[in-house]
């Protein structure tokens, strides 16, 4: 009888320790999956109701990404996870006379988010408008390929 009680107590303790270890791993995953790491700033130039006005008003904007949703055309000139970079890109277009709006969105594609973080490091370290435009051209193409075309 004593051996049975000791065996049961040992099993309960080992089960509790195993459960705590397993739970702590899931707790860390939840923190990563559901926190602000998925927040991305989209820099939007505008929303157009038809292709003609889109083409007329955005012919001099490069790079840009056009996303059609519910018969409306959304024009994005940048995507970043870094607020300072968002402000840097916005200022670049504001100086050219465009009104750029920052919108926060949540993205679940971890590969895309990692790419954006890498490109954000490049943007942080450059002041040249041409370099920032080139980097954003790649980010926008990545978004189109990894998010829009996959959905």
What SS3 string covers the chain? CHHHHHHHHHHHHHHHHHHHHHHHHHHHHHHHHCCHHHEEEEEEEEEECCHHHHHHHHCCCCCCEEEEECCEEEEEEEEECCHHHHHHHHHHHHCCCCCCEEEEEECCCHHHHHHHHHHHHHHHCCCCHHHHHHHHHHHHHHHHHHHHCCC
Q: CA 78, CA 140: separation in Å to the nearest integer?
A: 7
CA distance 65 to 54: 12
Q: Which of 128, 142, 151, 133 is nearest to 40 (CA)?
A: 142
Q: Which residues contact 90 (CB under 8 A, 6 or more apart)?
A: 43, 78, 100, 102
pLDDT above 70: residue 36:
no
**pLDDT digits 0-9 by tens, 112-131:** 999 999 999 999 999 999 99
Q: What is the pLDDT of residues 67-118, one digit of tens each?
A: 999 999 999 999 999 999 999 999 999 999 999 999 999 999 999 999 999 9
CA distance 104 to 63: 20
Number of residues in the chain: 151
pLDDT of residue 31 exceeding 90: no
> What pLDDT is attached to residue 135?
93
pTM over 0.85: no
């Amino acid at each position: 009888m004593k051996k049975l009680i000791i065996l049961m107590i040992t099993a309960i303790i080992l089960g509790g320790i195993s459960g705590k270890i397993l739970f702590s791993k899931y707790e860390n995953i939840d923190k990563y999956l559901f926190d602000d790491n998925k927040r991305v700033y989209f820099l939007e130039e505008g929303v157009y109701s038809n292709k003609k006005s889109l083409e007329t008003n955005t012919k001099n904007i490069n790079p840009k990404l056009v996303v059609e949703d519910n018969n409306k055309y959304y024009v994005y000139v940048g995507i970043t996870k870094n607020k300072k970079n968002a402000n840097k890109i916005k200022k670049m277009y504001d100086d050219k006379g465009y009104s750029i709006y920052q919108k926060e969105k949540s993205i679940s594609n971890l590969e895309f988010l990692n790419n954006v973080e890498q490109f954000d490091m490049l943007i942080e370290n450059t002041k040249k408008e041409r370099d920032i435009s080139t980097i954003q051209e790649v980010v926008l193409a990545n978004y189109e390929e990894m998010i829009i075309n996959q959905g």
